[in-house]
Structure 1
Amino acid sequence: MSTLPVDPVANLSALISCPSVTPDDAGALDVLEAQLRPLGFDVARPVFSEDGTPSIENLFAWRGTTGRHLAFAGHTDVVPPGPLSDWRHPPFSAAVEAGELYGRGAVDMKGGIACYVAALARLAARGALPEGRLSLIITGDEEGPAVNGTDKLLAFAAGHGHRFDGCIVGEPTNPDRMGDMIKIGRRGSVSGWITLEGRQGHVAYPHLADNPMRGVPGVLAALMHEALDAGTENFPPSNLEVTGVETDNPSTNVIPARTRIAFNIRHNDLWTAETLRQAVAERVAQGLRDDQLRPGREQALKATITWRDRPADAFLTRDDRLVATLSGAVHAVTGRTPVLSTSGGTSDARFIKNYCPVVEFGLVGQTMHMSNERVALSDLETLTAIYETFLSRWFAADA
């Protein structure tokens, strides 16, 4: 029998050594498959494609045919390391210094995968793998467009008859120390662009032109001045942020024909993508009506709103079995009662919630996406123990 992957440090080092910057796999899924096969998992490696996006190889692994079905989800792709001179150690060398393992993806989120595999292996080593079904849903597209990854992989699994009773995502959720926080939901995200149409002309003859930049202050004020809401019991207030204003006009003596305002909304469960689209349209119209910077102009500037595809919905997981069992496992290992949070950005849990209840718990995320991304070796042991405890309790708990 092959040696079981019981050591999370060794598991993680092997994964980090693969420079799997989106969309390149660089052998990371080969490493993961080699770790899972000795544990009795069957493995599929579907590749998904869509026009305008890179093709992505994914991994779906499964074990067992009856009983409760628990999935673990994550990604082996990582963001670029940035300037190599900013790193204490090469970002794909998995160097260990002063009790910490350095490398791109150490916490986001190859570390979570390494610990989950180690937890499975430790259960297997003592003959205690749960009686039931286990799956891993692993993509290489989370840090990229997220088009050819988890969403399509879930449909692939469903098409092959897999139905899940719960899922844990191994994203780094803890702000400061292990046991701080479990994510039980996420705010939604909606993005778009507002194009204001004017009339191009010479700066010396403004009466012959119509500068769309004069409409920008009114629109910005209407968009951001009044809060969208005050938050809910489980979610912070929604916020709309303008993220860019551009004209594509390189000349200082030309009044531009149009300007574009980019924005993103992070919203709670008081809103849907459709209700936000209506609210933004109303605010833009009000901002143009309130325009005070275009004297003598009776007609408002024309505004066109373009919405980004695939908005993310807000969601909240209310599955007591999943949330309480994970919270209890965290407390049993760390002595801490984790905060149940919906903070932060979006994750692939936004796709998983359409198939089953989902929660997120992983490492401390303080260094994710930074130079010198790193994880404490002790945290890898702690997370492995939490996953091991969670697996045993989730399958053993009464229905």
Structure 2
Amino acid sequence: MLTRSMNLMMAASVGGMFGFYLLFAAVPLYVASGGAGEVGAGLVTGAMMLSTVLVEPAVPWLLSRFGYRAAMALGLALLGLPALLLPFSSGLPLVLAVSLLRGAGLGVLVVTGTALAAELSPAGRRGEGLGLYGVAVGLPSLAGLPLGLWAGDALGFTPVFVAAGLAPLAGLAAVAGLPSVRPARAAGDRVSGLRGLAGPALIFAAVTVAIGVLVTFLPLAVSPAQASAALLAQSIGTPAARWWAGRFGDRHGSARLLAPGVLAAAGGTALQVWTAEPVALIAGMALFGIGFGVLQNATLALMFERGPAGRVSALWNLVYDAGMGAGAMGFGLIVGRTGFPLGFGLVAVLIVATLPLTWTSRRVRQGKRSPITGAHADGRLGTSPSPGNGANAG
């Protein structure tokens, strides 16, 4: 599992995601303190996610044209360099421009990393490989989300912005060691059309709306110290649950995890109604983190079983980032009328509404998995033919 290519890819991803998470909750607070208010806080997160989702559908073409190494380098550069401009102004125009550029970098990085993790995982252990990758990219959230808030309050925002700019650029050293390969072209989906992908994608969309709301607005609903503790609890639960879900899914099927994941995520979000109670706040975010991690792995593994890696990675990450952006922007528009407790309750209802999809998703026929056997002579990562489909899946 831990090949040289996998280790280098995860090291580069960790650098990029640390820079991302360090600013994810800090920048909305920065722009809100600069006079843009709650609407401005939602806009900067929404703008970043909008840029991300606009770029992500083009990443499979970018991978096939330039390869994994060039794509990861581009993503890291776009995440790191614009962050170094933030100390010059907290005004909304500059922060929005930086957020748009960083969002593009995020889109390139996450689609590339997710697809490559699936490609590099051994046969029969794709769920575990995705879980391992999830732990790697979850560790930056464990440190970055609470650290960005704490350091912005204790040290000022400038050191946070500089660190967030340098961390992705440091990841370029790992990218230099990756092989210059391109993904193999897929001959066709293992489940026709959107039938096999729609259910898991919609379930995941609801929970990503919730994470966009909670990460953006929890620091505004409670004190920075309480928000840091709650986000730390979520950041611990998510990667651990994602790794466990991968191992369980390889042995018993990922579809079985959908309903428990939805219930855990909804229950954790519902507990945020009691923001004045520190125990409910932190316990709720820990429970949400577990549900979020389970659904990250379960939905992604199911989708990889039903479609080619490049397209599935782009769709899953597009859903992830579109949901986060929509949650942040939509909640920013309604929270002035509903208040934080009622608003968090409505988000929990949205997650519960996807529960019927967990049953329909289990009834969709699952395709065979295809292990990677190496690289084609022209530099493309290859897969061995799946039994019964006679085509490379990849």
The TM-score with structure 1 as length reference comes to: 0.21
CA radius of gyration, larger in: 1
Q: Which has the higher strand share?
A: 1
TM-score by length of 2: 0.22
